[in-house]
Structure 1
Amino acid sequence: MNTPSLQAAIQDYLTTYFSSFERELKDILAEQCSIKHFAAGEQLMQTGQYFKSTMLIVKGLVKVYREGGDGGEFFVYHLEPGSACALSMICATKQEKSEILATAVEETTALLIPIAMMDDLMRKYKTWYYFVLETYRSRFEELLEVIDHVAFRGMDERLDYYLQKLSKQQDSKLIITTHQQIANDLGSSREVISRLLKKMEQHGKVVLGRNTIQLFT
């Protein structure tokens, strides 16, 4: 069981980002969860690993992606405070190896729920049951969105959408990233992304800096 001070900290996170959870559920999570901090760039999940816990994000931003045999990346979705990774939930519950990677985009804090609790939480707490269902639904919709963009939109549209969404998630018009990182996420080359960003800058949509992009739209 956690110390009273740790339980209080977890309760604060749950009240702020998971307010729909019933009181009893918050209490049991506060007793059994742990808090883990990740530095920007640190991996939260790796391909081939088994999960001992599932994570609720309470601070920061996490990128979930697949890695190809040639080292290329395919962006899947972001995790922000108040969310959980559906794929990690599935792997944790079924005790299967991860087929995805997750990296902290910025300093991130997560609540770790032991997998031994998962079945009981699903049976005993309706708010947890509905949270898991909603997590599966929302992540599935995000995957469909990614597929739609890859299949039906040009790279210029995908880039604009990517920047707008990242800006919203970071709650800032100043995005700190590199052209190479954007290229990795969008399955393109740095040269193509740089050219499209320069075109956006010429149209007054962005101002480019060293590892920064200032949005104006």
Structure 2
Amino acid sequence: MHTILKENYGFVFEDKLIDEIAQVATLKDFKEGDVLIDFGDYIKKIPLLISGAIKILREDFDEGELLLYFIEKGETCAMTMACCLGETKSEIRAIAENKGKVVMIPVNFMEEWLGKYKSWRNFVFNSYNNRLKEMLSAIDSLAFLNMDERLMNYLLEKSKINGSKEIKSTHQEIAYDLHTSRVVISRLLKALENQGQIKLHRAIIEIVKS
């Protein structure tokens, strides 16, 4: 555990903090599609992502869910931290975008380390700041971008996170993340292909222009 933390967070945390995390945390493997946090859960542990990517969804009380942002290596979920501090139920669902590993830290250490370690305070505040920017970007996207622009931004983000120009997602899965219908997504994907921005293959979308 200590070696994994040192390799991935040694540039962020003090050695003493890494030692403490290694003593109390657990390492968890996950695979694509695993639900790591669900709506209504009381969150007992804070995730530090070692590898892979996790998408964070917000429940829409009228219908379905809305993609807020992705968590990548070296990051945590600010909304998870907020639930931990407020001892409230989770208002997000965290689903593994691909396989990876995550370090889970018991929540009772979070406040203690806020007062004890400057690096932990900076990490927490930066996480809040970065997630806020991403959520504002998501709001702007909903308010000001056409669905074809939202779709292209989504595909580019998926490509970056997975490190591949080929995106293995069904039209229905994309529609679910973008809170629209499969018919709309299929039509827009075909339009993007006609514009030369993507190529459609069986169960794969290839980014041509980035």
Q: SS in structure 2 opposite 1:74?
A: strand
* Aligned partner letter, 1:66: R
Alignment pair present for 1:134 and 2:134: no
Tell me: CA distance 1:30–1:95, structure 2 relative to 1, closer, same or farther (3 Å).
same
Aligned residue for 1:203? 195
Give 1:70 deviation, angstroms.
5.3
Alignment pair present for 1:22 and 2:14: yes
* Aligned partner letter, 2:87: Q
Tell me: CA distance 1:71–1:153, structure 2 relative to 1, closer, same or farther (3 Å).
closer
**Are 1:62 and 1:108, in contact at CA under 8 Å, matched by a contact in 2?**
no
| Correspondence for 1:182 among 174, 177, 180 | 174
The TM-score, its normalising length taken from structure 2, stands at 0.94
**Are 1:43 and 1:102, in contact at CA under 8 Å, matched by a contact in 2?**
yes
Give 1:13 deviation, angstroms.
3.7
* Aligned partner letter, 1:80: E
The TM-score, its normalising length taken from structure 1, stands at 0.91
Aligned residue for 1:114? 106
Tell me: CA distance 1:13–1:175, structure 2 relative to 1, closer, same or farther (3 Å).
farther
Tell me: CA distance 1:18–1:46, structure 2 relative to 1, closer, same or farther (3 Å).
farther
Tell me: CA distance 1:33–1:70, structure 2 relative to 1, closer, same or farther (3 Å).
same
Unaligned ranges ≥5, structure 2:
none
1:47-66 to 2 correspondences below 5 Å: 47-66=39-58
Aligned residue for 1:171? 163
Q: Which runs of 4+ in 1 moved over 4 A?
A: none
* Aligned partner letter, 2:79: L
Give 1:18 deviation, angstroms.
5.3
Alignment pair present for 1:150 and 2:142: yes
Whole-angstrom CA distance in 2 between matches of 1:68 and 1:150: 14
| Correspondence for 2:204 among 209, 212, 216 | 212
Tell me: CA distance 1:130–1:187, structure 2 relative to 1, closer, same or farther (3 Å).
same
* Aligned partner letter, 2:100: T
| Correspondence for 1:89 among 65, 81, 91 | 81
CA RMSD of aligned residues (A): 1.4
**Are 2:5 and 2:18, in contact at CA under 8 Å, matched by a contact in 1?**
no
* Aligned partner letter, 2:161: Q
Whole-angstrom CA distance in 2 between matches of 1:115 and 1:95: 10
Whole-angstrom CA distance in 2 between matches of 1:50 and 1:136: 20
Give 1:25 deviation, angstroms.
0.9
**Paired-residue identity, %:** 40
**Cα displacement string for residues 67-88 of structure 1 (whole angstroms, at most 9, x for unaligned residues):** 3345511111111111100000
Tell me: CA distance 1:214–1:18, structure 2 relative to 1, closer, same or farther (3 Å).
farther
Aligned residue for 2:152? 160
**Are 1:65 and 1:102, in contact at CA under 8 Å, matched by a contact in 2?**
yes
